[in-house]
Amino acid sequence: MRGTPAERAAKWARRTAASQPDWQAGVEAVTESPGAKAAASADLWQQRLTQPEAKEKFKRNVGSVSTEQWKAKTVAGGSRFSAGAQANVDKMEQHQRDSEQYIEAGRRIIKAMPNATIEDKAARAAAWVRYMANYKRPR
């Protein structure tokens, strides 16, 4: 390999930035839903997930990052977080519309339940948790 690891990483970063138009063209060239293709492979995904080496790889990779490393990398990507939120305001708005009726229906159910004792309050809280656990986002 030519150069030091730092030089190779810097070269990778420069070339990655310069290839953004090619990356976008590749995205635009996709003709079938990647999500639908992935969903069609659910059995294979499950099969691979249950292999012992998958568990070991997961443990090794996830366990290799310290809290400080995670914080530093997460904070470094903060501008993408904000940009991603701005680019998806329409999705959040639709989610708010979709979930609002479900939540309001649940509130009416909970409001109709007894509320006199600590047991009543615990039952109301448990009913709310169960109700919300059944929410399915419309597609």
Per-residue pLDDT band for 43 (boundaries 50, 70, 90) equals very high
- Residue 106's Cβ-side half-sphere holds a number of Cα atoms within 13 Å equal to 17
Distance CA 64, CA 71 (A): 14
Residue in the block written with tokens 């992935």: 38
Statement: residue 23 has pLDDT above 90: no
Instruction: Decide if 103 contacts 121 (C-beta within 8 A).
Output: no
Residues 36-63, buried b or exposed e (16+ Cβ, 10 A)? Answer: eeeeeeeeeeeeeeeeeeeeeeeeeeee
What is the model's pLDDT at position 115?
96
pLDDT, one tens digit per residue, over 50-87 is 999 998 999 999 999 999 998 998 888 887 888 888 88
Are the beta carbons of 115 and 124 closer than 8 angstroms?
yes
Domain boundaries, the chain: 85-139
pLDDT at 1 over 80: no
**What pLDDT is attached to residue 28?**
92
Three-class SS state of 58: helix
Task: Spell out the residues 6+ positions from residue 1 whose beta carbon is closer than 8 angstroms to its own.
Answer: 8
Residue 135's pLDDT is 95
The pLDDT value recorded for residue 97 is 87
Encode pLDDT of 82-138 as tens digits: 888 888 888 989 988 889 989 999 999 999 999 999 999 999 999 999 999 999 988
Dist CA 15 CA 120 (whole Å): 62
